[in-house]
Amino acid sequence: MICKLCSTYIKPLCFMAATQSKKRWESMTHLSPPAMRWRTSTSPAPVLTVTPARGLVDEPISIKAGFMPPQYPVTLCAQMRSEKGDLWEAFGHYKTSADGTVNLARDHSVGGSYLGCEPMGLFWALQPAPGERDGLRLRKKNVETPFIVDISLLEGHVTPRERENSELAVATTERWYMAPGVQRIDIRQNGVVGTLFLPPGPGRFPAVLDVWGMGGGLVEYRSSLAASRGFASFSIAYMEHKDLTVQLDIDSSDAYMKKAIDILRDHPQICGDRIGVISLCYGVYLTLRTATLADVNVRCTVMYSCVLKNLSCPLLYVLGEDDQNLSSTENSKLVHINGLKTAGKSYLYTRLSYPGAGHLIEPPYAPHTRMSYWRVKPEKLPTLWGGNIVSHAAAQEESWREILKFLDKNLRGHLSSYARCNVTE
């Protein structure tokens, strides 16, 4: 309905309040007039702002709402569709401050998907909506398109199922995995299958080889983010991909990994002597021997949840102490005490250990998955990853920041953050 007094959209009850007497209005509703002053035609409608409206998934979002009564109950709700069409959602219950505003960087959720002051809770607390498929894990396949997240301001402390009759304002934000100017290049060379991401500009850039776990296929979203932060990144497939001629194992991986690093080293926009490796789970086993070979000479290694020895370059070990998939804590002790310390190389070792975090430590603000179905031919089996939602979210945010600092220190050296290598040929 359009208000004749201010030409703005208002609910039918608001129109009645503007045209009928105060006494009659009180008799028609259970809510007293003082609590509903903002719903009259002479007051501005509630406003919801979500900034930036377009940004990278590892960037924080500012969510604010205003023009409401003080101490008024409202719900902030986030909803988005996965690439397969599954609905994911999260919500928090808030009360407005004395000036009638809500600011997620300041105010505490008193109920819903999370509690407390959590500015990004609407993102990392996303879970499959009731009625969606069981055992889902949110992973981005096409990094050249964003996730579209709808943020709603709802009246009262309600659930997303009740949004139709309680929606006060809506805003949308796009969450991208590639910054403007990042190049995505398909690589099918010398038997190597992968995707190379180059940062904006001519280079030359420091680079990382990005190797994932036994889920197989070609996983690109960590590489595209790394390139968005100034590092050329080469994500490779080694199993479960249609273009692979051979499925690799730990005994046959050396030649393949060398070829992948040579592709980076020979690229004209990449600093050939500033290459690192970042790997997860089973992918670590495949890269370990490669990283220790003298003729490969990688500058640094970032590992998630696995064992290592005989390393000669700086190592950042990231682990979740509630990892239910691998014995990450025990492995980290073996790496340090039985491996690097015994060899007199403790100075190479840095460990990031997170209580309450599970196996799947992703880039920041990704929804936590404690259990998901994992395809193990010929069927899908439930796999327990571990972690609790709040601690895991904190681990993802801090570890990504520390990984970028580690790569910057060891691949750029004295150069300023995100600067080009500019190697003299």
Which tens digit of pLDDT belongs to each residue from 193-209? 999 999 999 989 999 99
- Residue 90 is predicted with a pLDDT of 98
Mean pLDDT confidence for 86-102? 97
Is 60 a residue whose pLDDT tops 90? Answer: yes
Instruction: Respond yes or no: is residue 210 known to be catalytic.
Output: no
Q: Tell me the domain boundaries of the chain.
A: 1-45, 51-163+170-176, 183-412
**Averaged confidence pLDDT in the chain:** 83
Q: Is the pLDDT of residue 366 over 60?
A: yes
Task: Report the 10 Å Cβ neighbour count for 116.
Answer: 11
Given the residues 323, 336, 392, 421, select the one marked as catalytic.
323
281 is catalytic: yes
pLDDT value at 92 more than 80:
yes
Domain 183-412 class? Answer: alpha beta
Which residue of the set 157, 336, 359, 392 is catalytic? 359
Tokens encoding 179: 């910054």
Mean pLDDT of the 8-28 span: 37
Q: Is 74 helix (H, G, I), strand (E, B) or coil?
A: strand
Q: Which residue has the tokens 């005989």?
A: 310
CB neighbour class for 280 (10 Å; exposed up to 12, middle 13-18, buried from 19): buried
Task: Tell me whether residue 414 is one of the annotated catalytic residues.
Answer: no
Q: What Rg value do the Cα atoms of the chain yield, rounded?
A: 25
Q: Which of 200-204, 372-376, 416-420 has the highest mean pLDDT?
A: 200-204
Distance CA 13, CA 219 (A): 51
**Fold of domain 51-163+170-176:** Immunoglobulin-like (2.60.40)
Reported pTM: 0.83
pLDDT confidence bin for 389, thresholds 50/70/90: very high
Q: Residue 303: exposed, middle, or buried by beta-carbon count in 10 A (0-12, 13-18, 19+)?
A: buried
- Which candidate in 77, 281, 300, 306 is catalytic? 281
pLDDT of residue 12: 38
What is the predicted pLDDT for the residue at 16? 37
Average pLDDT rounded to a whole number, residues 125-143: 93
Q: What is the pLDDT of residue 2?
A: 39
